[in-house]
Amino acid sequence: MSKELLKEAIIKYLSGVILMGALLFIPAGSFSWTNGWLLMGLLFIPMLIAGIIMYLKAPDLLRSRLNAKETQDQQKNVIRLSGFLFLASFVLAGLNYRFQWHHLPAGVVPCACVVFLLAYLMFGEVLRENAFLSRTIEVRENQTVVDSGLYGIVRHPMYTATIFLFLSMPLILNSLISFLIMLFYIPVIIMRIRNEESILEKELSGYTEYKKKVKYRLLPFVW
């Protein structure tokens, strides 16, 4: 096992915990925010378990997931926009808790937790099915088209999972305004998909045929 990979994974994991905690609890002005801790637990406990499994069973996949250095200019813009949406959504959710602007109806938070966990499971299944999955858009040596499992239903199941993950987060935080802001993630991810597919058609053998076989990108019968 690579000690450098383990060190990198631990540093990025702890950095994510600290950053997320700061974005939530500093605006909230309190560590007593139950919804904030709920989201932290739902996000980082499964992430820790998945990271350990990848380190032991699929270190190359873990290494590719840790690589977040985009080279495509359009994808860099997508990452910047996504980062801004997360920043605004989490900060406003914390401020909503501090100043008690509004509360969502009873039952929304537990339902959002269920959606979040199901989307997390879907994301894990995508990782299991596609050993070439990376956080950046790239075509690696010996990469082949994956067309089974979830990839036989939609062409980008990872993005389907992330949409449900990201839209459920502000609801877990009991913040309507944060949810409305996070809705803008949908056109952002659509922009990423269009650019990604143009690259894959040029660089990945068999992808054009795969597009003909699997018609829908994100949701069956929708898009």
pLDDT digits (tens, 9 = 90+) for 42-51: 999 989 988 8
At a CB cut-off of 8 Å and minimum separation 6, what does 107 contact? none
In-domain check, residue 222: no
Query: Which residue segment(s) compose the domain that 177 sits in?
Result: 3-213
In-domain check, residue 219: no
DSSP assignment, residue 148? S
How many domains does the chain divide into?
Answer: 1
In-domain check, residue 113: yes
- Confidence band of 79 (pLDDT split at 50, 70, 90): confident
CA distance 167 to 89: 10
φ, ψ of residue 117 to 5 degrees: the values are -70, -40
pLDDT above 70: percentage of residues in the chain = 90
**Contact predicate 206/144, CB 8 Å:** yes
**Contact predicate 97/35, CB 8 Å:** yes
**Helix spans in 100-214 (H):** 108-129, 157-172, 176-182, 185-203, 207-213
CATH number of the domain encompassing residue 205:
1.20.120.1630
In-domain check, residue 223: no
pLDDT digits (tens, 9 = 90+) for 119-166: 999 988 888 777 666 554 455 556 677 777 888 899 999 999 999 999
In-domain check, residue 220: no
How high is the pLDDT of residue 69?
A: 60
In-domain check, residue 218: no
